[in-house]
Amino acid sequence: MKTNRLFALTTFICCISTFLSCTKEVDVPTNAPKLILKFVFDTTQPRLNNIGQPAPVPAGNWGQSPAFRGMSAHYIELAPGALIALGKGVVLYRAAETSAGGSSAIDFEQARVAGHNETFFELPLNAIAAGSYEWLRVSLAYQNFDVRYYVDTTISGHVVKQEFNGTVASFIGFNNYIKTFKVNTQPLAVNAAKKQGFWVFLKQISHQAGIPFRYFYPDKALKELPLW
């Protein structure tokens, strides 16, 4: 669970033209003020920890800012204070869940995935309980992003020393029931429930030696698929 006052790993823009003054339920006109949350992917944004404080990469470690393609959240909540128990604030959004794979899991087929500056969630302000909220809690469910990586190895007698692009699809929600999804533009069928942390890495390599390169993923039940 990621929590901070304004933004966590990804900045959220909350477009609010006015705040709440009444909890009475009324019909919402089409131009009524709304709470709008968007994902904004900024590769220059400072690295932050779980409470939104600067967290430089420790000495002796390295990292990179990935280029995000899309992101999804499992849970969004407004909390009056940091000590409010999870679920005891105002829950604004919870992703659809299913028990099709056994235990309850996020139904990825129904998940909302938003790209840069795209609206992930919106709600009329008069549908939110009036109050003062200090924390925005967001539990991410899915991330899809591109990275750069360097290969320094020998395959079948061919020396490879080159930088390549790759795409990561990472399911970081508590459990996920996945039918099919795309890694970059490559579809992949799963049709099973996966525990938190399931991921797929698609190598995008075109080497002059004509070596076939494949998906990498930790689940041995999935068959490796060659790219062409």
Q: Taking Cα atoms as reference points, which of 72, 89, 96, 171 lies closest to residue 136?
A: 89
Q: Output the six-digit token pair for 182.
A: 């795309």
* DSSP assignment letter at 100: T
The answer to whether 201 and 188 are in contact (CB under 8 A) is no
* DSSP assignment letter at 218: S
In the chain, pLDDT over 70 holds for what percent of residues? 75
Confidence of residue 228 (pLDDT cuts 50, 70, 90): very low
Least confident of 32-41, 106-115, 142-151, 203-212: 203-212
Q: Is 186 left (phi over 0), alpha (psi -120 to 50) or beta?
A: beta
CA 142-195-101 angle, 5° bins: 100
Check whether 225 has a pLDDT greater than 60. Answer: no
Residue 202: the pLDDT is: 83
Q: Taking Cα atoms as reference points, which of 27, 25, 26, 69 lies closest to residue 166?
A: 69
Residue 34 CB-half CA count within 13 A:
15
**Residues 116-136: what's their mean pLDDT?**
93
What is the rounded CA–CA span in Å between residue 117 and residue 193? 30
Check whether 112 has a pLDDT greater than 90. Answer: yes
- Give one DSSP letter per residue of 14-69, joined into a string: E--SS-----------TT--EEEEEEE--TTSPPB-TTS-B-PPPTT------EEE
Q: Taking Cα atoms as reference points, which of 206, 168, 162 lies closest to residue 184?
A: 168
Three-state SS for 107?
strand
What is the rounded CA–CA span in Å between residue 105 and residue 158? 44
